[in-house]
């Protein structure tokens, strides 16, 4: 398994080193091929030698293109096919003079200078670290129709934790402004009448992230014709002029995440060609994707269990092992039934591909794969895998972990504390007088408040913190490496920030406060005990006047209101 992170080294120079290593190895391979072919021509057919020749050609076909020798890769592929066809024809395969000549021609192809490997857009994109938020920092930019006031929408969406602004100016001016905003994932909400113009400007942009900015249409006309027209113009979502806010917020988050270069993932790569594996490793790592390289298929199951990937990328021929059989074997284990398995192979015959797919994998990426294509293909598949996982394990209103999973996280953190001796806290959070919000403004606005709290927590907490929706308006947070004093300070800030949010319902503004109870996980025998303690601290906080934070075991002096 390659452990080093590509981010720490100079990726381009390491890729150049790999190209050189490939060229040296390929020259040796070609010499061997030539020697074996000469032997067969002179001494007759030998099954073992033929298999070795085909395996070497197959390896060249799959890797040469990646290292800047596409012509060599293509020629090796067609020679491998020719020899295999001869072997399959049962005419007593003979390695002909023609085959030897073709092998000699491969050597000249290797001697010509490699094609410069284009810096792909997807590779060139930096994996910008957006400020320490739990999720993405999402900017919503509203492009209004003339004489339409969308300030109310900007205000309402701000309560969901988005950075919202109504844009003024021409289409070109707006897109120019958006192009200068970095460090955020932007989603455009656009009035139907302006979509054509805005789309034109997006398409014309020289910046890839701008061209890929998602756009949601806001339209008065919700007829089939209108929806069809907006879809044809390229809109990614469609809502009426007064959209259902939780639904719109959900769509904005989905689109921002889907398009973001920050969509990362975890990939197990099974590849027996070391240069190729290292190349893929570097390319994927430099795009922010975690990779675990498995060279020996015997280690595959144990690496899957410890690394827990989003997807499995696997070569189809791995020395004596078949990737197709390995895929079937992976599916023996019920926990990997839904793991997307993608073959990375130089097999380009559609029938053979389909046959291989029918035995347990989901898709083929045909080698050679360009670096940018590999990154995009892996990113989108990791995203889909995570979405599926999310659907199964996340609460639909908030996107946070479901009750049973967050409890499990508390248990796991306790085990980690025991092993490493670090402190950790668990926090129970509950909205104050929430029943009144529902009773006064209706359930829909109640949902909006719940969602705003979920966003506030996501935006304020570290990525390593775990957040779950414990019950209706109750949230449970697990904070690794955080003692109760630090947790108190953190949640005091969060409570203050949340109390300052303004919501709008029934034509009036209102605010909501929260209470939190904190307990030290490492003080308890089970995670459940720690959660109970945080719950008791929360109850104390409610009795002491709500709107603030109480640590379990605090005396009244320590638990006064924060604001």
Ligand X SMILES: Nc1nc2c(ncn2[C@@H]2O[C@H](COP(=O)(O)OP(=O)(O)OP(=O)(O)O)[C@@H](O)[C@H]2O)c(=O)[nH]1
Task: Out of 211, 435, 462, 489, point to the residue binding ligand X (CB under 6 A).
Answer: 435
Interactions with ligand X, residue window 447-466 (CB under 6 A): 447, 450
- The crossing angle, in degrees rounded to 10, of helices 323-330 and 300-307 is 50
221: phi then psi, degrees, rounded to nearest 5 = -90, 110
Note whether 473 binds ligand X by CB under 6 A: yes
- The crossing angle, in degrees rounded to 10, of helices 245-259 and 443-460 is 30
Question: Site mask, ligand X, residues 369-398, x = CB under 6 A?
Answer: ----------------------------x-
Task: Out of 73, 288, 360, 446, point to the residue binding ligand X (CB under 6 A).
Answer: 446
Q: Quick one: 2 or 397, whose CB is closer to ligand X?
A: 397
Task: Out of 280, 383, 434, 475, point to the residue binding ligand X (CB under 6 A).
Answer: 434
Q: Least distance in Å: CB of 512 to ligand X? A: 9
Q: Quick one: 84 or 542, whose CB is closer to ligand X?
A: 542
Note whether 315 binds ligand X by CB under 6 A: no
Q: Least distance in Å: CB of 489 to ligand X? A: 23
CA distance linking residue 372 with residue 118, whole number of Å:
9
Q: Quick one: 226 or 492, whose CB is closer to ligand X?
A: 492
Phi and psi based region of residue 151 (left: phi greater than 0; alpha: psi -120 to 50; beta: remaining)? alpha
Q: Least distance in Å: CB of 446 to ligand X? A: 3
Q: Quick one: 74 or 447, whose CB is closer to ligand X?
A: 447
Positive or negative torsion for Cα 47, 53, 58, 61: negative
Task: Out of 211, 433, 462, 489, point to the residue binding ligand X (CB under 6 A).
Answer: 433
Note whether 549 binds ligand X by CB under 6 A: no
Note whether 430 binds ligand X by CB under 6 A: yes
Note whether 560 binds ligand X by CB under 6 A: no
CB atoms within 10 A of CB 240: 13
Q: Quick one: 272 or 432, whose CB is closer to ligand X?
A: 432
Piece in contact with ligand X (CB under 6 A), picked from 51-59, 309-317, 426-434, 453-461: 426-434
Look at residues 445, 143, 221 and name the one whose alpha carbon lies nearest to residue 154: 143
Note whether 535 binds ligand X by CB under 6 A: no
Q: Quick one: 211 or 435, whose CB is closer to ligand X?
A: 435
CA distance linking residue 442 with residue 435, whole number of Å:
10
Count of CA atoms in the C-beta half-sphere (13 A) of 205: 23
Q: Least distance in Å: CB of 523 to ligand X? A: 25
Look at residues 475, 478, 464 and name the one whose alpha carbon lies nearest to residue 527: 478
Task: Out of 542, 544, 553, 562, point to the residue binding ligand X (CB under 6 A).
Answer: 542
- DSSP letters for 440-484: HH-HHHHHHHHHHHHHHHHHHS-TTSEEEE-SSSEEEEEEET--H
CA distance linking residue 563 with residue 297, whole number of Å:
59
- DSSP letter for 8, please: G
Note whether 432 binds ligand X by CB under 6 A: yes
Catalytic: which of 473, 485, 508, 556? Answer: 473
CA distance linking residue 561 with residue 45, whole number of Å:
88
Piece in contact with ligand X (CB under 6 A), picked from 115-123, 146-154, 435-443, 548-556: 435-443
Piece in contact with ligand X (CB under 6 A), picked from 332-340, 379-387, 428-436, 486-494: 428-436
Note whether 431 binds ligand X by CB under 6 A: yes
361-397 as b/e: b if 16+ CB within 10 A: beebbebbbbbbebbbbbbebbbebbeeeeeeebbee
Q: Least distance in Å: CB of 474 to ligand X? A: 8
Q: Quick one: 219 or 513, whose CB is closer to ligand X?
A: 513
Look at residues 135, 148, 59 and name the one whose alpha carbon lies nearest to residue 367: 59
Q: Quick one: 434 or 503, whose CB is closer to ligand X?
A: 434
Note whether 157 binds ligand X by CB under 6 A: no
Q: Is 220 known to be catalytic?
A: no
Note whether 164 binds ligand X by CB under 6 A: no
Q: Are 188 and 198 in contact (CB under 8 A)?
A: yes
Note whether 543 binds ligand X by CB under 6 A: no
Note whether 400 binds ligand X by CB under 6 A: no
| Strands (E) located in 192-264 | 215-219, 237-240
CA distance linking residue 400 with residue 213, whole number of Å:
25
Q: Quick one: 293 or 445, whose CB is closer to ligand X?
A: 445
CA distance linking residue 459 with residue 323, whole number of Å:
42
Q: Least distance in Å: CB of 505 to ligand X? A: 12
**Which positions lie near ligand X, rule CB under 6 A?**
397, 430-435, 438, 443, 446-447, 450, 472-473, 542, 546
Residues labelled catalytic: 473
């Amino acid at each position: 398994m390659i452990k080093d992170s590509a981010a720490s080294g100079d990726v381009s120079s390491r890729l150049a080193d790999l190209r050189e290593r490939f060229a040296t190895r390929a020259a040796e391979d070609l010499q061997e091929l030539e020697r074996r072919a000469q032997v067969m021509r002179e001494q007759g057919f030998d099954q073992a030698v033929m298999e070795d020749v085909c395996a070497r050609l197959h390896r060249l076909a799959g890797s040469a293109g990646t290292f800047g020798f596409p012509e060599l890769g293509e020629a090796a592929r067609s020679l491998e096919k020719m020899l295999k066809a001869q072997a399959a024809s049962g005419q007593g395969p003979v390695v002909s003079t023609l085959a030897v000549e073709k092998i000699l021609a491969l050597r000249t192809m290797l001697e010509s200078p490699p094609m410069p490997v284009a810096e792909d857009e997807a590779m060139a994109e930096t994996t910008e670290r957006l400020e320490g938020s739990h999720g993405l920092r999402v900017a919503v930019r509203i492009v209004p129709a003339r004489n339409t006031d969308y300030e109310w929408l900007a205000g309402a969406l701000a309560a969901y934790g988005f950075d919202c602004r109504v844009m003024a100016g021409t289409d070109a001016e707006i897109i120019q402004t958006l192009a200068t905003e970095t460090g955020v994932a932007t989603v455009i909400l656009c009035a139907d009448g302006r979509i054509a113009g805005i789309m034109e400007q997006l398409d014309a942009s020289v910046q890839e992230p701008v061209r890929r900015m998602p756009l949601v249409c806001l339209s008065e006309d919700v007829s089939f014709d209108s929806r069809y027209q907006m879809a044809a113009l390229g809109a990614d979502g469609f809502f009426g002029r007064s959209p259902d806010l939780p639904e719109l917020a959900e769509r904005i988050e989905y689109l921002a995440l889907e398009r973001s270069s920050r969509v990362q993932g975890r990939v197990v790569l099974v590849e027996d060609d070391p240069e190729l594996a290292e190349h893929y490793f570097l390319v994927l790592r430099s795009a922010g994707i975690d990779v675990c390289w498995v060279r020996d298929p015997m280690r595959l199951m144990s690496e899957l269990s410890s690394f827990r990937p989003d997807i499995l990328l696997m070569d189809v021929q791995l020395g004596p092992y078949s990737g197709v059989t390995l895929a079937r074997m992976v599916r023996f284990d019920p926990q990997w039934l839904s793991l997307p398995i993608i073959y990375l192979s130089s097999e380009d015959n559609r029938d053979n591909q389909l046959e291989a797919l029918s035995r347990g994998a989901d898709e083929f990426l045909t080698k050679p794969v360009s670096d940018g294509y590999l990154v995009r293909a892996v990113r989108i598949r990791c995203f889909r895998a995570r979405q599926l996982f999310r659907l199964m394990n996340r609460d639909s209103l908030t996107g946070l972990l479901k009750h049973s999973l967050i409890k499990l996280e508390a248990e796991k953190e306790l085990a980690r504390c025991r092993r490493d001796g670090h402190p950790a806290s668990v926090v129970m959070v509950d909205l104050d007088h929430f029943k009144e919000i529902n009773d006064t403004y209706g359930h829909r606005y109640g949902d909006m408040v719940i969602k705003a709290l979920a966003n506030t927590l996501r935006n304020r907490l570290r990525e390593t913190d775990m957040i779950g929706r414990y019950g209706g308006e109750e949230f449970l947070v697990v904070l690794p490496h955080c003692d109760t004093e630090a947790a108190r300070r953190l949640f005091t800030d969060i409570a203050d920030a949340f109390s300052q949010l303004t919501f709008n319902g029934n034509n009036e503004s209102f605010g909501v406060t929260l209470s939190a109870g904190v307990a030290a996980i490492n003080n308890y025998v089970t995670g459940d005990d720690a959660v109970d303690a945080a719950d008791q601290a929360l109850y104390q906080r409610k009795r002491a006047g709500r709107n603030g934070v109480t640590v379990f075991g605090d005396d009244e002096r320590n638990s006064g209101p924060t604001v």
